[in-house]
Amino acid sequence: MEPLHNSYILDFVIPDGPTGPTGPSNFLEPQIYTNYNASNTSGMLSIRNSLVLPNNSNLFRKSGNYIYINEIGYYEFTVSGYLAESTNSNNTSLILKTAMQNDALTNNLITIRLNNGKSERYFSYTRIGKYGTLQKVSLILNKANDSNAHINEINLTIKKMPWAI
């Protein structure tokens, strides 16, 4: 039995004419990718590194362990990572906090806890926030003094949405 031999010829003509639009002028909304150092201590997490895209955007600014948002609008926040505790999992939480840059008003936008009976968890949460004032963003680990909770592989992405306020 002989194997089948098929050959194909691709024969077509590309029409000549005016080119159409080249696509959106701003296909990449400004965003910041940030990852944090692992921690087993209560308090604000420390930023290991961050990347702002596009790199000429001044919409986001990292200062210390805060991310500053320098324009009003809608933003998508995604936080992901790993949280573990074997001593008292009901008292441990990771909070994504937004605040006016002058600290006049704060908001716990995302709160992550271990479910009852769970001692570890990989997580990813996304929320959209609307801000009419300039904001600063931080991640805070809350735990009891006798807790062995630890958190690692923490990443935060903030993306400016194209909607107007």
Closest CA to 109 of 126, 124, 121: 126
How far the first Cα of the chain sits from its last, in Å, is 71
Closest CA to 139 of 50, 30, 31, 35: 35
Cα(106)–Cα(127) distance, integer angstroms: 16
In terms of DSSP H, where are the helices of 3-99? none
**Domain 31-160 top-level CATH class:** mainly beta
Q: Is the pLDDT higher at 60 or at 11?
A: 60
78-133 residue pLDDT tens: 999 999 988 765 678 899 999 988 877 888 899 998 776 678 889 999 999 999 88
Q: Where are the domains of the chain?
A: 31-160
Cα(131)–Cα(144) distance, integer angstroms: 32
Work out the average pLDDT over 148-154.
Answer: 92
